[in-house]
Amino acid sequence: MADVSRAVNIEDLRRMARRRLPRAIFDFFDGGAEDETTLRENRAAFERVRLLPKVLVDVAEVDTRTQILGAESQLPLAVAPTGGIGAGRPGADVCIARAAKAFGIPYTLATPATASIESIRAESDGRLWFQLYCVKNREFREKLVARARDAGYEALLVTVDLPVSGKRERDPRNGFVTPFRPNWRNSHDIWRKPAWLLDIARSGLPEMENMRGYPWAAPTSDIVTAVGREMDASLDWEAVKRLRELWPGKLLLKGVERTDDAERAAIVGCDGVVVSNHGGRQLDGAAPTLEALPAIARAVGGRLTVLLDGGVRRGVDILKARALGAQAVLVGRATLFGAMAGGEAGAKRALEILQDELVRAMRLCGVRSVAEIGPHLVAPR
């Protein structure tokens, strides 16, 4: 296992993960849709923001605590949903959930996770959110909602930017399918990854536990493709109203980039929105989330919790997102790379890096608490 203590930033953990994983699996986690323009722009948008730090402020003590969805979080940060990650390291979902609990932040379980709703609850008494993929079979998706409710998850994040799967071109080039199976395109690389091979030999190839029993339209070995085919392309605001009736906890729409959609989310009774483009994995050419954020925050910030994901790789990114209107951010790939590199210790190292960088950025900007982070810190373009 890699010595994750040597990682000084998230990119170091990404490199460690890349060294450990077969190319097909790493590219599945790392890649985006088509030309990967949106994937790159999510990151570049943070790099374009310039800060105007305050000086001569007593920042000996800095408080990173904040309220997210009405409850305290130790950081303005939650873990985003990431599907299928057990293919990279068995038990990775549990590793990340435990890391989130240790850092006092919410963890979001994906519908296509390799751990079940119930098993994550058994492993963590922390703040748990569930991301719902709205599959065509309404009875099955409502059972998922009921299972999350019965397991005590506090929030339901409904993914609304997935009427069909994005065209992620790395996967067919690498011969990637899930459950992952060696084939002529990827087998030559697998044998050069002994650490991954040993883990899989011990534990076996994982399944998407929450999709067990789903009535697939046609038999297939490629569940990723099958899940994409099974997304409900007819999903509309009436379906959101139905979910609002079924779900007693906090309800958020994940995948919003327009102010009119955010305003309608408030009207139908949602508690928040996640400004997201699915990490650049769906519509290539979608606006980078940080650029879509300010208008949404101005439109609904007083009525809804506004969160953001996409491109967050540094603690200063959290500060920038907060300054531009997000109450908190979600990170997916950062903790995923950590878990791929070093299991639970790697996921914790990712959060430790982000926490340290956030505290450092707050001190250098002259702010003593998350509440003091605001638009006054952002330089005009």
223 vs 44, 162, 214, CA distance in Å?
A: 32, 15, 11
What positions carry a catalytic annotation?
278
Domains contained in the chain, number: 1
Quote the CA–CA distance of 78 and 67 in Å, as a whole number.
Answer: 11
Predicted confidence at residue 229, as pLDDT, reads 79
Q: How far apart (Å, rounded) are the C-alpha atoms in residues 335 and 87?
A: 15
pLDDT of residue 338: 98
* 208-249: pLDDT as tens digits: 999 999 987 654 445 555 677 789 999 999 999 999 999 999
CA-CA distance, 289 to 275, in Å (whole number)? 6
**Which tokens sit at 224?**
């990723």
Domain residue limits at 296: 4-377
> In this predicted structure, what is the pLDDT of residue 182?
60
Residue type, 31: G
Ordered DSSP codes for 97-163 = HHHHHHTT--EEE-TT-SS-HHHHHHH--S-EEEEEP-BS-HHHHHHHHHHHHHTT--EEEEE-S-S
State the residue for tokens 């002529």: 184
**Which ranges of the chain have pLDDT less than 50?**
219-221
Q: Which helix (H) or strand (E) holds 296?
A: helix 289-300
The long-range contacts involving 138-146, CB below 8 angstroms and separated by at least 24 positions, are: 138/232, 140/213, 140/214, 140/215, 141/232, 142/246, 144/111, 144/117, 144/210, 145/243, 145/246, 145/247, 146/246
Helix or strand (DSSP H, E) at 18: helix 10-20
What gap in Å lies between CA 82 and CA 75, rounded to an integer? Answer: 20
CATH code where residue 50 lies: 3.20.20.70
253 vs 275: CA distance, rounded Å: 9
Q: What's the distance, CA 76 to chain centroid?
A: 14
Which residues are paired to 72 by β-bridges? 67
* Exposed/middle/buried for residue 150 (C-beta within 10 Å: 0-12, 13-18, 19+): exposed
pLDDT of residue 221: 44
| pLDDT score at 249 | 97
Q: How many helices (H) and strands (E) in the chain?
A: 15, 10
**pLDDT the model gives residue 18:** 97
Residue 298, SS3 per DSSP? helix
